[in-house]
Amino acid sequence: MNDNEQKPVTIIVGRVWRKKGGESEGVHVMLVAPDDDSAVRMALEALAREGYAEAELDQIGDMQDAPDVEPHMSAYQGALEGEVSIVTFDEIF
C-alpha cells in the first residue's frame, strides 16, 4: 500500500458493560488505524469516553466492503472520516 491509498476500515467485535457486573451489550467499533494495537487502544479509549466501564474485545479485522444497512453504513462512513464509530446492540444468546 502506498501513502496515497486509504487504509482499510478496521472493525472490532466484542461486548461492553456500562456498569461492572451489569448487563452487557454487543459492540462493533469501526475506525481507521495504522495497526491492530493502535486500533484496540483507540477503541478502548473511545468506549471509556462514552461511559463504558468494561469491554471484552473478541475479534479484529479489516472490512472488505462498505456495509449497506444502517447503523453500520453511517459508522463505516464516520470511520473513513476519522471518527471512532461505536455500534451497540442487544446480544442474542
What does the pLDDT profile of the chain (93 residues) look like in tens digits?
A: 455 578 899 999 999 999 998 999 999 999 999 999 999 999 999 999 999 999 999 999 999 999 999 999 999 999 999 999 999 999 876
Q: Which three cell numbers stand for residue 54?
A: 468494561
CA–CA gap between residue 54 and residue 39 (Å, rounded): 17
Q: pTM here?
A: 0.91
List phi, psi (to 5°) of 70: -80, 150
Whether the upstream peptide bond of residue 71 has omega within 30° of 0, thus cis, is yes
Q: What is the pLDDT of residues 55-79, one digit of tens each?
A: 999 999 999 999 999 999 999 999 9
Q: Please report which helix (H) or strand (E) contains residue 15, including its range.
A: strand 10-17
